[in-house]
Amino acid sequence: MIEISDKVRVAVPQDEEAIMDLSRLLHAENASASMNEEKLRAMIRKALDPDKSTFIGLCGVIGPPGGPLAAVCYLFVAQLWYTDDWHLEEVFLFVHPDYRRQPYGRIMMHFMKATSERLQIPLLTGIVSNHRTEAKVRLYE
């Protein structure tokens, strides 16, 4: 298990509904397309697989097992279309609106960077929306 921060932990299967709840909030705030809940749930379950037999990534979370959660990030192990090199891709990072005055976004960024370093593969991250862009740019700096 990757332990990077005393605030962030790797999500477990009991976190599925709490991650779905945050994902719905993320979609409502930031989506550019419709949401397929079954597809989202299947993707989250792959990251929560306790024996990692379907490992494609992991979710880092802030909050107790089973929720409620203050923040979540989804990291996906992938390759770009033109290379065989692996990278760690941020699928999403979301902090619940009630916790945005806390440093949780920054803490999650540190977790993502530390996970990338621990796995010894580069982190690919960025901003894919125009909602609260200035705040996101400051966070990602």
CA-CA distances (angstroms) from residue 39 to 34, 42, 123, 141? Answer: 11, 5, 24, 31
Helix or strand run (H / E) with residue 5: none
Cα separation, 120 vs 72, in Å, equals 22
Predicted confidence (pLDDT) at residue 12 exceeds the cutoff of 90: yes
Q: Average pLDDT of 1-15? A: 76
Structure tokens at 16: 């599925």
Per-residue pLDDT tens over the stretch 60-89: 999 999 889 999 999 989 999 999 999 999
Helix or strand run (H / E) with residue 52: none
Q: Average pLDDT of 28-41? A: 91
Structure tokens at 79: 């390759």
